Amino acid sequence: MVLATLLFAAMGVCVKLASREVSTAEVVFFRGLVGVVVVGAMAGWRGLPLRSAVPMLHFWRGFAGVVALSLWFYAIAKLPLGTAVTFNYTSSVWMAVFFVLQTAWLRWRGQASTPVPGPLLLAIAVGFAGVALVLRPTLEADQWREGLMGMASGMLAAWAYVQVMQLGRLGEPEYRVVFYFSLFGTVAGLLISAGMTASGLKAWSQPSTWGWVWLIGLGVFATLAQLLMTRAYAEGEPLAMASLQYLGIAHAFVLGILLFDDPIDAAGIIGTVLIVAAGVAATRFRRASPTAPR
């Protein structure tokens, strides 16, 4: 998991550098294409089947995940690296929100439901207080749209994680989940890029030599990180893995300062700490509730 967080941070650096030359849709396309090639080759070499009995669940996982990924990549291109990564890591807090809404819905329909733990509500409040602190010092007046898109990426990432959990419960292996997610991203990125070119909004870019390095690098880093993270959750204690996953924020902050001179101040640090604490706490209390999405 520690290595996965470092690779995801390296992916963020490549996304930020590649976005100077190509559109977000092209970044999503190349990220997916490398994943399809790498995972497809691994599956073929080991004789692993790619056919799935639950294609629609893969579709919805791909839809939620690729939209979240696109919003996140756009935020990475426009915002300080650590800030954009922090917004995406609000997914644990959003999953707690989904659990609260699920419980309220069951109660409204008169069905049995587990009471929402008070500490879980507190964790949600603390998480969004942290978001407010991160937003306030690090965003300029004209960056609120990008900030909201970063927030939306965290919310949609939470939805995608719910789909991944359902796929896991149905026995879908991690390589197949990663393959179809990458395939969906490849197709979506290509279609959006083609649409933008046809409408005259933005022509397909021709990256420089370094641009190709960043595009291939982000795909390799992202694919390896995703496989490592999936294996970590499969073999490790889930709460410990979820806690270690937040190291990605620290990596991103350090890389952002060293490579891009990203601004940072006390309020941003406090906000990030609150988001991490709330995410870990929300994960713990969700796991303590038998009806909560895990």
pLDDT digits (tens, 9 = 90+) for 113-141: 677 677 777 777 777 777 777 766 455 55
Q: Cα-flanking dihedrals φ and ψ of residue 123, to 5°? A: -60, -40
As a whole number of angstroms, the distance between CA 233 and CA 126 comes to: 25
pLDDT-derived band at 291 (thresholds 50, 70, 90) equals very low
Q: Which helix (H) or strand (E) holds 7?
A: helix 2-18
Local confidence band at 285 (pLDDT 50, 70, 90 cut-offs):
low
Per-residue pLDDT, 203? 67
Residue 240 has pLDDT above 80, yes or no: no
Mean pLDDT of the 195-202 span? 77
Distance CA 153, CA 292 (A): 21
- Specify the DSSP class assigned to residue 289: S
The string of pLDDT tens digits covering residues 19-57 is: 999 988 999 999 999 999 999 999 999 999 998 989 999
pLDDT at 271: 78
User: Which has the closest alpha carbon to 86: 139, 35, 123?
Assistant: 139
Q: Is the model's pLDDT at 294 over the cut of 50? A: no
Q: How far apart are CA 84 and CA 73, in angstroms?
A: 9
DSSP code string of 162-208: HHHHHHHHTT--HHHHHHHHHHHHHHHHHHHHHHHHHHTS-PPP---
CA separation for the pair 189, 187 (Å, rounded): 6
Residue 197 has pLDDT above 70, yes or no: yes
Confidence check: pLDDT of 14 > 80: yes
Confidence of residue 293 (pLDDT cuts 50, 70, 90): very low
Describe the chain by its helix, strand, coil percentages, rounded to 5.
80, 0, 20
Contact 139, 88 (CB under 8 A): no
Confirm if 79 and 147 have CB atoms less than 8 A apart. yes
Q: How far apart are CA 290 and CA 294, in angstroms?
A: 9
Mean pLDDT for the chain? 82
The position carrying tokens 């719910």 is 162
Structural domain boundaries in the chain: 2-287
Tokens representing 278? 């709330």
Instruction: Find where tokens 């294996």 sit.
Output: 231
- Tell me the C-alpha to C-alpha distance, in Å, between residue 119 and each of 95, 111, 158, 225: 15, 23, 20, 32
- Using the Cα atoms of residue 278, residue 284, residue 290 and residue 293 in order, give the sign of their dihedral: positive
The better pLDDT of the pair 157, 287 is held by 157
How does residue 288 score in pLDDT terms, banded at 50, 70 and 90?
low
Least confident of 80-89, 129-138, 276-285: 129-138
